[in-house]
């Protein structure tokens, strides 16, 4: 799939994030592949997937384009979404259509540089690079580093971004008005109405995760919502 065909495939459509961490009940590549298949049946245009093994399983199960990432913690950095070349190499081995990585201005583990990772991906694969950002400043930095698109994944999860209960509509609007690359709206989008508003603001496409694929969180919201005391 070419970069133009991928971007066309997801334009004004829904991307579903199918992820479960090790301490969650649905953790496991077979389960995530089935979750992704369910998302496909519901109309997802692409899947966002964590870990090389999950990316491979989702690609095989669904045939949909996959945005791959690896979440890994390092002691010398707050960056944990595809933070180093090690994670990039693991993802390249399973050939996701897109590699997502933390593109905030924070220092990476081992003092690696975002620009070098983006360049390596472009020179050694056909994968596009999605920049997970939290602020307008992050997005400007990421674009200077050569990314293909930006996503608001990390808004509210860094010290320099606003802590909001809902989606960061203001950031998406700012990005859409100033950036020359596709803007992917992601983060705390929990209703179709919120998703549509993002598209109306100019978002290229929408990523929804927990509101669709984390039943324990969905159940909790109902259980707490009906509690009378």
Please state, in angstroms and as integers, the Cα–Cα distance from residue 172 to each residue in 40, 134, 162, 208, 211, following that order. 25, 10, 13, 15, 19
pLDDT on residue 4? 74
pLDDT on residue 228? 80
Residue 127 pLDDT more than 90? Answer: yes
Q: What is the mean pLDDT of the chain?
A: 97
For residue 47, how many other CB atoms are within 10 A of its CB? 32
- Which residues are paired to 185 by β-bridges? 206
Residue listed under structure tokens 């608001």: 152
Residue 1 pLDDT more than 90? Answer: no
CA-CA distance, 73 to 55, in Å (whole number)?
19
Average of pLDDT values for 103-108? 98
Query: Based on the structure, what is the number of domains in the chain?
Result: 1
Q: What is the pTM of this model?
A: 0.96
Residue 194 pLDDT more than 90? Answer: yes
Closest among 17, 7, 2, 102 to 54, alpha carbons compared: 17
pLDDT on residue 9? 97
pLDDT tens digits, one per residue of 12-46: 999 999 999 899 999 999 999 999 999 999 999 99
pLDDT on residue 3? 72
pLDDT tens digits, one per residue of 39-79: 999 999 999 999 999 999 999 999 999 999 999 999 999 99
CATH at 122: 3.20.20.70
Domain that holds residue 197: 3-225
Average of pLDDT values for 183-192? 98
pLDDT on residue 229? 65
């Amino acid at each position: 799939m070419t970069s133009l065909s991928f971007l066309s495939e997801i334009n004004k459509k829904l991307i579903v994030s199918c992820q479960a961490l090790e301490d969650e009940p649905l953790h496991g590549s077979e389960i995530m592949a089935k979750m992704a298949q369910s998302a496909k049946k519901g109309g997802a245009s692409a899947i966002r997937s964590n870990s090389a093994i999950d990316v491979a399983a989702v690609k095989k199960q669904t045939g949909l384009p996959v945005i791959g990432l690896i979440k890994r913690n390092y002691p010398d950095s707050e960056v944990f979404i595809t933070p180093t070349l090690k994670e990039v190499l693991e993802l390249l081995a399973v050939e996701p259509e897109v590699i997502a990585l933390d593109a905030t201005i924070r220092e990476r583990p081992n003092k690696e540089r975002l620009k070098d990772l983006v360049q390596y991906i472009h020179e050694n694969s056909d994968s596009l690079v999605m920049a997970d950002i939290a602020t307008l400043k992050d997005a400007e930095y990421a674009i200077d580093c050569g990314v293909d698109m930006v996503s608001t994944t990390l808004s509210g999860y860094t010290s320099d971004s606003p802590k909001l209960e809902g989606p960061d509509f203001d950031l998406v609007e700012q990005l859409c008005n100033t950036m020359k690359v596709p803007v992917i709206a992601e983060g705390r989008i929990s209703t179709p109405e919120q998703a549509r508003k993002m598209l109306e603001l100019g978002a290229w496409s929408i990523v929804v995760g927990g509101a669709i694929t984390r039943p324990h969180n969905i159940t909790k919201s109902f259980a707490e919502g009906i509690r009378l005391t």
